[in-house]
């Protein structure tokens, strides 16, 4: 810096802009890479890539960076925590963003979700469905909904067991403000691709069974499965929505145990 007038405040502003530009370049590179890998997984499994939705997962990512992601073309974000999502929705209220709640939702948070969210992928109880529907009626809104399934059988994971899903899906038809679209799952965390794949295969079969049994097969078309570490396997097994966090935004500071009970890393 030269001259007495260009003080440290200017330097700081320049630094901020430089960091923003750097993040945006990195983000664009990662986004292109993920899209390419989605394409490749689709080619391998003879699917069309327009059938696979990329949902960027933005938990712990600052609103400022989401602005950069928006300018790079992202129009929707997935969040685990209602409070955090609501804060970002307010902060980025000038942008047209589709907010998706993908983390376990307590019934007492339903009224907030009914106000701003567009989708809930983690529906896992009738009580939550009832509360959401009632709150949505009050707000004059509707939500896209996926039912969370525990496909790994681990007691630490949220979601219905596969056997409970058909009756649960049938009972959701009573709720006018919930548009049921399909199923969501988190696969087991394992080094073994084959162990992970088993969870996704279980989901694919569950959807096939539902499509035969439910009056409207469209209500179980969506299969949200696959994250940074396993999305290619998920696509090979029929995923229609991959939820990608760290592979797009970089590593998270908070451990996953903060978001998922029972995880130790
Ligand atoms: C955090 C999270 C993701 C994304 O995980 P990454 O490993 O960062 O891709 C996907 N789904 C759920 C439910 C999450 O909580």
Q: For residue 3, report the distance from its CA to the centre of ligand 1, in Å.
A: 48
Q: For residue 234, report the distance from its CA to the centre of ligand 1, in Å.
A: 14
> Above 60 in pLDDT, residue 265?
no
> Above 60 in pLDDT, residue 263?
no
Task: Write the pLDDT tens digit of every residue in 74-107.
Answer: 999 999 999 999 999 999 999 999 999 999 999 9
The whole-number average pLDDT for the span 220-241 is: 97
Higher-pLDDT residue of 262, 243: 243
CA distance 70 to 258: 26
Confidence (pLDDT) at 261: 62
Residue matched to tokens 């430089």: 18
Q: How much is the mean pLDDT over the chain?
A: 92
CA distance 249 to 23: 9
Task: Write the pLDDT tens digit of every residue in 45-84.
Answer: 999 999 999 999 999 999 999 999 999 999 999 999 999 9
Ligand 1 site: residues with CB under 6 angstroms?
57, 59, 80, 102-103, 186, 227-229, 243-247, 259
Instruction: Give me the domains of the chain, ranges plus CATH numbers.
Output: 11-258 (3.20.20.10)
By the 8 A CB rule, do 45 and 51 touch? no
User: Ligand 1 atom closest to Cα of 245?
Assistant: 8
Q: For residue 240, report the distance from its CA to the centre of ligand 1, in Å.
A: 16
Sign of the torsion formed by the C-alpha atoms of 164, 165, 170 and 172: positive
Confidence (pLDDT) at 219: 86
The whole-number average pLDDT for the span 35-46 is: 98
Q: To the nearest whole percent, how much of the chain has pLDDT over 70?
A: 92
């Amino acid at each position: 810096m030269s001259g007495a007038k260009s003080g440290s405040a200017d330097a700081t502003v320049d630094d901020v802009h430089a960091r923003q530009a750097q993040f945006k370049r990195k983000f664009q590179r990662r986004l292109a890479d993920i899209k390419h890998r989605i394409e490749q997984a689709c080619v391998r499994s003879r699917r069309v890539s327009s059938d696979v939705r990329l949902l960027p997962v933005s938990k712990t990512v600052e609103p400022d960076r989401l602005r950069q992601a928006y300018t790079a073309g992202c129009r929707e974000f997935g969040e685990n925590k209602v409070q955090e999502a609501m804060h970002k929705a307010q902060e980025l209220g000038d942008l047209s963003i589709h907010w998706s709640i993908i983390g376990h939702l307590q019934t007492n948070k339903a009224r907030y979700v009914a106000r701003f969210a567009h989708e809930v992928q983690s529906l896992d109880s009738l009580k939550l469905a009832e509360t959401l529907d009632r709150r949505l009626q009050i707000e004059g809104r509707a939500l896209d909904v996926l039912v969370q399934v525990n496909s790994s059988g681990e007691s630490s994971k949220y979601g219905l067991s596969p056997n409970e899903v058909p009756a649960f899906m049938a009972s959701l038809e009573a709720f006018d403000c919930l548009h049921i679209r399909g199923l969501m799952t988190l696969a087991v965390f394992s080094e073994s691709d084959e162990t992970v794949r088993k969870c996704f295969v279980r989901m694919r079969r569950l959807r096939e069974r539902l499509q035969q049994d439910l009056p409207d097969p469209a209500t179980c078309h969506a299969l949200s499965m696959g994250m940074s570490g396993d999305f290619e396997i998920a696509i090979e097994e029929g995923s229609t929505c991959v939820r990608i966090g760290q592979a797009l935004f970089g590593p998270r500071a908070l451990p996953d145990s903060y978001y998922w009970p029972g995880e130790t890393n």
